[in-house]
Amino acid sequence: MRTDLFDGEKPVVRFDQVGMRYGAGDEVLRDIAFSLEPGSFHFLTGESGAGKSTLMRLIYLSLRPTRGLVHLFGRDVATLPRDKVPAMRRRIGVVYQDFQLLDHMTAIDNVALPLRVAGARGPDVKKHVSELLRWVGLGERLGAKPPTLSGGEQQRVAIARAVINQPDLLLADEPTGNVDDNIGVRLIQLFEELNRMGTTVIIATHNFGLVDRFRYPRLDLEDGALRIIRGQRPPC
Amino acid sequence: MLIRRQTDIPFDQDPAGRLLPWIVAIMIYLSGVAIAGAIALNGLVSTWSSGLSGALTIQIPAGPDSPHAQQQAGAVLALVRKAPGVEQARRLPRQDMLRLLRPWLGEDAGAGDLPLPILIEVHAAPDAAIDTAALSAKVAAAAPGAVTENHARWAGPLIGLARSIWLVALLVVALIGLATVITVVFATRTGLRIHRRVIGLLHLIGAHDRYIARQFERQALWLSLQGAIIGIVFAIGTVFGIADLAGKIELEPAAGAIFTPVQWAIFACVPLVAALVALLTARITVLRTLRRMT
């Protein structure tokens, strides 16, 4: 059965009866079916081991499903030619749970990486990146390398890197896990700002305080199955 | 690594990358010496062969057993100068013969009364041929016991030998080039394994394989160029050293005169060619490996 949250011609994300297993093990995701319209905002919730990270990895093209179809921006990813994958990935910003920062690069170079990969160069890039890092409270740590940053600072660098090129789809895996509530709220507000500009946002979190406070719809995973819990505020 | 560069991939953590410049330096040194040897040999052989073709030497025995040697030499010189095709014939002065003997007999070569034969040098006119058999018969009649030696008979085997050595040198350079390619492939594959996480991240951020390959090829170019420059500098030093030693025994000209400007340019291009080969090898290795990985 497929659960459509919204009507629309081309959902940003659409899963059709997706199943996923690692090797010969049991399915960690079963019959996942949903679609997310452009400009929507969702929390992804579930216990540890429920399959949140696997679902995120399927969306950001780090994994291919064992069965079923995954569509991104209206394209079936299984039939996407290899040389078209990078362009699709550039439309997706990801905040990884373990940050995935490059330790040999400064904060500013880490955040500029998606722009560099997309071919952007010049002083404007540095200015733009510096402004964003100041906005997330790291104006004094532009030249610091990740090993010298605290967990919270690393997380903010990771967030800045994910949003620097204003992606069409933002995925954040526990983005508030290492920051206090005030910064956590501020980060969600940053995601909301992006969402208002048209970015579709999915935030995987354990922080039910934030989920309750912002009241966006939830994709809830339990034992590999997906359940939709509608929010109390309409998606943008 | 000798000098560090800022890259998305932390290459300075590669053990293979640290060794690559030194391996390339050794390879280029060996290639440089092989190429220099081949070029020098080629020049030497062409000098010899041009000197040998169209040249004859007539040797008339002299000493107590040949009391008429001087008269015979005069007669031979006269008949040789009249022979068809001969441009020049001259009796080799005793001082010149002693100079030729000096490398073997030392400075005392001229001190005693050595029974040196009389040598007559004969050169053919350009595009003319000397009938060696007929001339030899006339010489033998005028000076019994005289020997007429045609230098051209040495030229053929000498050129054949030089060509063989030239081919061996080319083979050595080709094998060294192949070894360099294998080394770069090994270093690149090691780098791809070591930096798997970073490469995965770059892919997820939207990097094309070409973007990642560019990082590896620039690194290979940079490291190889450093090594190649070191290798060629030492090779040039070795060439000058050998040329200097050869000059002392009057075997070869001075180092600067070994190569023509074009040959020096070819020699100077060796590091660039090596760096270019490393760049292309790294690119092909990365693109093929990434295609297999995903």
Q: What is the pLDDT of residues B134-158, one digit of tens each?
A: 888 888 888 888 888 887 777 777 7
Q: Evaluate if residue A147 carries a pLDDT over 70.
A: yes
Give the domain CATH number at B134.
Answer: 3.30.70.100
Is residue B4, in this structure, part of any structural domain at all? no
Distance of CA A129 to the CA centre of its chain: 19
A110 to chain B: closest CA residue = B8
For A128, A129, A157, A222, the CA distances from A191, given in Å and listed in that order, are: 18, 17, 14, 25
- Using the 3D structure, point to which of B103, B129, B150 is the last residue of a domain: B150
Asked if B160 and B190 sit in the same domain, the reply is yes
CA distance B84 to A70: 96
Asked if B221 and B178 sit in the same domain, the reply is yes
- Using the 3D structure, point to which of B128, B150, B172 is the last residue of a domain: B150
Is residue B132, in this structure, part of any structural domain at all? yes
Is residue B107, in this structure, part of any structural domain at all? yes
Asked if B272 and B169 sit in the same domain, the reply is yes
Is residue B6, in this structure, part of any structural domain at all? no
Asked if B61 and B37 sit in the same domain, the reply is no
The predicted structure's pLDDT at residue B1: 42
ipTM of the complex: 0.87
- From chain A, pick out residues whose CB is under 8 angstroms from the CB of B10: 102-104
- From chain A, pick out residues whose CB is under 8 angstroms from the CB of B208: 83, 86
CB contact under 8 A, B201 and A104: no
- pTM score, whole prediction: 0.75
Tell the residue number behind the tokens 């020098």, with chain if given: B40
Range(s) of the domain holding residue B40: 11-49+155-293
Asked if B132 and B182 sit in the same domain, the reply is no
Of B70-74, B242-246, B277-281, which gets the smallest average pLDDT? B242-246
Is residue B2, in this structure, part of any structural domain at all? no
- From chain A, pick out residues whose CB is under 8 angstroms from the CB of B8: 102, 105, 113, 116
Asked if B176 and B281 sit in the same domain, the reply is yes
Q: Is A86 on the interface with B (CB under 8 A)?
A: yes
Q: Dump pLDDT digits (tens) for B154-205.
A: 777 777 887 888 889 889 999 999 999 999 999 999 999 999 999 999 999 9
Q: Encode chain A in three state secondary structure.
A: CCEECCCCCCCCEEEEEEEEECCCCCEEEEEEEEEECCCCEEEEEECCCCCHHHHHHHHCCCCCCCEEEEEECCEEHHHCCHHHHHHHHCCEEEECCCCCCCCCCCHHHHHHHHHHHCCCCCHHHHHHHHHHHHHCCCCCCCCCCHHHCCHHHHHHHHHHHHHCCCCCEEEEECCCCCCCHHHHHHHHHHHHHHHHCCCEEEEECCCHHHHHHHCCCEEEEECCEEEEECCCCCCC
CA distance A106 to A114: 14
Asked if B146 and B161 sit in the same domain, the reply is no
- Using the 3D structure, point to which of B150, B181, B205 is the last residue of a domain: B150
Residue A69 pairs in a beta bridge with A16
Angle (CA) B140 B142 B148, round 5°: 35
- Count CA atoms closer than 13 A to B278's CA, side-chain side: 35
Asked if B246 and B218 sit in the same domain, the reply is yes
A63 to chain B: closest CA residue = B294
Q: Is B201 on the interface with A (CB under 8 A)?
A: yes
Element (H, E) at B91: strand B86-91
B292 to chain A: closest CA residue = A82
Confidence of residue A4 (pLDDT cuts 50, 70, 90): very low
Name the phi and psi angles at A172, rounded to 5: -130, 120
Q: Could you give the number of structural domains in chain B?
A: 2
Q: Is B218 on the interface with A (CB under 8 A)?
A: no
C-beta atoms surrounding A31 within 10 Å: 17
Higher pLDDT, B258 or B18: B18
Is residue B136, in this structure, part of any structural domain at all? yes
A96 to chain B: closest CA residue = B201
Is residue B204, in this structure, part of any structural domain at all? yes
